[in-house]
């Protein structure tokens, strides 16, 4: 019989930041277990529910009894599973007709015991490489009630839970104590227990807007019953959509806009079972505090949604309550009273911090350890000042620009020792800008202090202006040079110092701002400034950067072959990469492209093998070329090169590559009529030199052989 299966765990308040992950993971684990056991189809994805006090999953078309099936278990290979008896002859190609001819090995005996079969019940199966023993057993389908509790217990242990809790006198463990269990198949309660709790068909509704137990009569009625009788919106996605709609509506009624924050919306959704949005306000006197501080205070501490008017913070905010009442004045008033001391703290921090200049705080950085092998934050700031000055000079900055860059680098980390950043580390750089402006620092310097942390991640904005870019590059290059130098290299998914993000930041700044800087020169400069004893990891950093470049370009929409063609050149002028890729893509639209890329691949292989064989053709004599095909290719190449060079000098990489399109026929004819590896050493070297010149000229923009199909 097919019907809907419902599983619900009623618990104490679950961790809000991981609630959605827990619900989704439970659904995924149960779907796999039920499908593997034959109770549901493999394509039946089911549905998950999650509220602050419950996790639930629901699967339609679930069988009450699994189908009869043949269970196949693979055993040892035939060669290791049989031991020939002394003096006996093992039959070839099949089972021994006589037990005396061969007997099971210890390994095969153990397999037979575990599979519950005899030797006569084994089959031999070949996988194309070797023969194996296989035990096949016909198993009668068992009921869902028999398997389900164990499936759930196994699934719960696989959920993404950092730390389990134990409660009561039993051994049950979960992320929070569980006090109720619903197991329903249609309208039938599946008897059994999970985490020491007996299954039933009753649950509880909203903690304040519902009373007593609620009976779920049928598994299909779960969400509807909880909503109508328990005032609980069980579906996480539906509850989230309700909150988003109410936020937009209430904000629009006020003529304001709420700040769209996906993470906050998810967290608030995980905190309520029956959401209702109310508007509240705080005293406008607090608006003298930088709005970033107030916004973070309201979002991080109180889970409020600040409201904006034309990009500026208003003194209104939205509260997502777990209660729907006819008179919300108590709820609104209570939240207004709660937020006031938080905002007062922010105002106090801001006013107190302004009593000391950023410059006066720089010396305090000497007392903060940056890394035990890389010195203090103060020592790091000295490196940043020096490196920023060098980068600003590389960017062609005048004395004023270099001075601004170094001033910004000097003050960039000073806000780390302010009260505001101590309370809210997320505001570092942001507060540095406000304090710098309050100190009367140059506006360019202040903006660079804020911007040098950008981009903070993929998709984030870039620092604006050469001063900010110089500081931002120095910050990341110093981090890479130091951490690589002391062996803190990312491995697998472990990257505690966010070095991948730092490398990506360097790449994005250079590429997207088209900064004509040499990446290798930047890395060398950063490495030279590291403390004594820190290793020179310049080459490793450069290769690491190229790996990140490949990922960045693929994520930007370029094909793997296009990316390989350009990145394999290991060009250190990353500001040219986009033009190179565009030229490669345009070249590949030419009718000659397929033939020329294939020829380049052939040329590359010939040259590689020649070099491996010790051939040297640098000083070869081109006058030895006499075959019409090789003379024609040499002439065509010499004619194309000056035209192409002019385009390259102008930065027109597309025209550069197109200048060689006319070589298709001479190249094809050369490979048809000329044997490169002649027995005449001098002639062979002349031909290799011709091919080397062709390869060098055509692959200056990208390695065309990478584009060959």
Quickly state the pLDDT bin for 96 (edges 50, 70, 90). Answer: very low
Mean pLDDT for the stretch of residues 640-666: 92
- What are the CA-CA distances from residue 579 to residues 300, 461, 592, 597, 696 (Å)? 43, 22, 21, 19, 19
Does residue 125 carry a pLDDT above 90?
Answer: no
pTM of structure: 0.80
pLDDT in tens, 496-544: 999 999 999 999 999 999 999 999 999 999 999 999 999 999 999 999 9
Q: Which residues contact 129 (CB under 8 A, 6 or more apart)?
A: none
Q: Using CA atoms in the order 362, 363, 368, 374, what is the torsion angle rounded to 10 degrees?
A: 90
pLDDT in tens, 443-468: 999 999 999 999 998 889 999 999 99
Does residue 90 carry a pLDDT above 50?
Answer: no
Does residue 168 carry a pLDDT above 90?
Answer: no
Mean pLDDT for the stretch of residues 570-596: 91
Quickly state the pLDDT bin for 87 (edges 50, 70, 90). Answer: very low
**Spans of all domains in the chain:** 2-66+142-230, 69-89+101-139, 237-353, 359-556, 580-707
Q: Domain 580-707 - what CATH class?
A: mainly alpha
Equal CATH topology for 359-556 and 580-707: no
Does residue 554 carry a pLDDT above 90?
Answer: yes
Strands (E), 282-348: 305-309, 312-321
Average model confidence (pLDDT) across the chain: 92
Does residue 569 carry a pLDDT above 90?
Answer: no
Q: What proportion of the chain, given as a percentage, has pLDDT over 70?
A: 97
Closest CA to 660 of 629, 633, 625: 633
Q: What is the pLDDT of residue 101?
A: 53
Mean pLDDT for the stretch of residues 363-369: 95
Quickly state the pLDDT bin for 489 (edges 50, 70, 90). Answer: very high
Q: What is the pLDDT of residue 226?
A: 97
Contact 545, 538 (CB under 8 A): no
pLDDT in tens, 215-257: 999 999 999 999 999 999 999 999 999 999 999 999 999 999 9
pLDDT in tens, 383-422: 999 999 999 999 999 999 999 999 999 999 999 999 999 9
Burial 405-436 (b: 16+ CB within 10 A, else e): bbbbbbbbbbbbbbbbbebbeebbbbbbbbbb
Strand, helix or coil for residue 133: strand
pLDDT in tens, 412-422: 999 999 999 99
Quickly state the pLDDT bin for 85 (edges 50, 70, 90). Answer: low
Quickly state the pLDDT bin for 169 (edges 50, 70, 90). Answer: confident
Q: What is the pLDDT of residue 99?
A: 40
Does residue 98 carry a pLDDT above 80?
Answer: no
Does residue 94 carry a pLDDT above 50?
Answer: no
pLDDT in tens, 300-351: 889 999 999 999 999 999 999 999 999 999 999 999 999 999 999 999 999 9
Name which residue leads in pLDDT, 315 or 260. Answer: 315
Q: Domain 359-556 - what CATH class?
A: mainly alpha
End-to-end, the C-alpha distance of the chain in Å comes to 55
- Range of weakest confidence among 88-97, 474-483, 487-496: 88-97
Within 10 A of 150 (CB to CB), how many other CB atoms are there?
12
Contact 214, 180 (CB under 8 A): no
Q: Which residues contact 333 (CB under 8 A, 6 or more apart)?
A: none
């Amino acid at each position: 019989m097919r019907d809907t299966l419902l599983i619900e765990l009623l618990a104490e308040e679950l961790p809000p930041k991981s609630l959605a992950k827990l619900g989704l993971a439970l659904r995924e684990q149960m779907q796999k277990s039920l499908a593997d056991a034959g109770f549901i189809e493999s394509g039946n994805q089911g549905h998950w529910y999650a509220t602050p006090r419950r996790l639930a999953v629901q699967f339609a078309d679930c069988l009450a009894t699994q189908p009869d099936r043949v269970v196949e278990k693979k055993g040892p290979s035939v060669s290791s599973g049989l031991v020939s008896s002394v003096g006996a002859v093992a039959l070839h190609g099949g089972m021994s007709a006589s037990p005396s001819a061969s007997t099971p090995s210890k390994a095969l005996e153990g397999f037979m015991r575990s599979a519950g079969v005899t030797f006569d019940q084994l089959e031999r199966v070949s996988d194309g490489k070797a023969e194996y023993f296989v035990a096949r057993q016909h198993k009668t389908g068992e009921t869902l009630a028999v398997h389900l509790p164990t499936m759930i217990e196994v699934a719960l242990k696989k959920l993404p839970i950092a730390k389990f809790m134990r409660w009561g006198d039993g051994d049950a463990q979960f992320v929070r104590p569980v006090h109720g269990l619903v197991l329903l198949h249609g309208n039938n309660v599946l008897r059994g227990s999970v985490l020491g709790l007996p299954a039933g068909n009753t649950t509880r509704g909203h903690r304040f807007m519902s009373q007593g137990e609620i009976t779920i009569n049928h598994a299909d009625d779960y969400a509807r019953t909880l909503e109508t009788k328990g005032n609980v919106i069980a579906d996480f996605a539906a509850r989230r959509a309700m909150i988003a709609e109410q936020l937009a509506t209430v904000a629009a009624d006020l003529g304001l806009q709420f700040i769209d924050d996906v993470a906050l919306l998810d967290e608030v959704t995980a905190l309520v079972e029956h959401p209702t949005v109310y508007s509240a306000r705080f005293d406008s006197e607090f608006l003298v505090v930088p709005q970033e501080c107030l916004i973070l205070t309201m979002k991080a501490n109180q889970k409020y949604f600040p409201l904006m008017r034309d990009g500026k913070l208003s003194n209104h905010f939205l509260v997502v309550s777990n209660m729907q009442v006819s008179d919300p004045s108590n709820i609104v008033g209570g939240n207004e009273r709660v937020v006031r001391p938080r905002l007062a703290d922010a105002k106090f921090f801001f006013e107190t911090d302004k009593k000391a200049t950023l410059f006066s705080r720089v010396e305090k950085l000497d007392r903060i350890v940056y890394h035990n092998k890389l010195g203090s934050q103060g020592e790091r700031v000295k490196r940043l000042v020096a490196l920023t000055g060098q980068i600003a000079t590389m960017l062609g900055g005048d004395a004023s620009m270099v001075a601004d860059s170094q001033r910004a680098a000097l003050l960039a980390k000073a806000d780390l020792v302010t009260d505001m950043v101590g309370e809210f580390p997320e505001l570092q750089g942001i507060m540095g800008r406000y304090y710098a402006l309050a100190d009367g620092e140059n506006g360019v310097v202040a903006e660079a202090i804020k911007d040098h942390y950008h981009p903070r991640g993929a998709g984030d904005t870039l620092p604006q202006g050469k001063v900010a870019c110089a500081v931002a590059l120095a910050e990341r290059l110093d981090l890479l040079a130091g951490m690589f130098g002391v062996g803190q290299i990312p491995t697998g998914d472990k990257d505690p110092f966010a070095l991948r993000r730092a490398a990506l930041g360097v790449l994005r700044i250079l590429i997207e701002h088209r900064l004509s800087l040499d990446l290798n020169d930047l890395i060398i400069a950063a490495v030279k400034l590291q403390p004594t004893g820190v290793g020179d990891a310049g080459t490793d950093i450069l290769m690491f950067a190229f790996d990140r470049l490949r990922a960045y370009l693929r994520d930007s929409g370029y094909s793997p072959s296009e990316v390989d063609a350009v990145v394999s050149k290991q060009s250190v002028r990353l500001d040219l990469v986009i033009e190179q890729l565009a030229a490669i893509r345009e070249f590949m639209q030419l009718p000659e492209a397929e033939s020329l890329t294939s020829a380049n691949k052939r040329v590359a292989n010939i040259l590689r093998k020649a070099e491996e064989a010790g051939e040297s053709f640098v000083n070869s004599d081109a006058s030895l070329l006499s075959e019409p095909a090789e003379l024609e290719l040499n002439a065509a190449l010499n004619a194309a090169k000056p035209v192409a060079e002019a385009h390259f000098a102008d930065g027109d990489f597309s025209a550069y590559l197109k200048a060689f399109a006319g070589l298709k026929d001479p190249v094809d004819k050369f490979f048809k009529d000329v044997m490169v590896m002649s027995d005449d050493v001098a002639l062979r070297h002349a031909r290799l030199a011709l091919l080397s010149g062709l390869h060098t000229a055509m692959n200056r923009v990208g390695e065309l052989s990478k584009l060959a199909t």
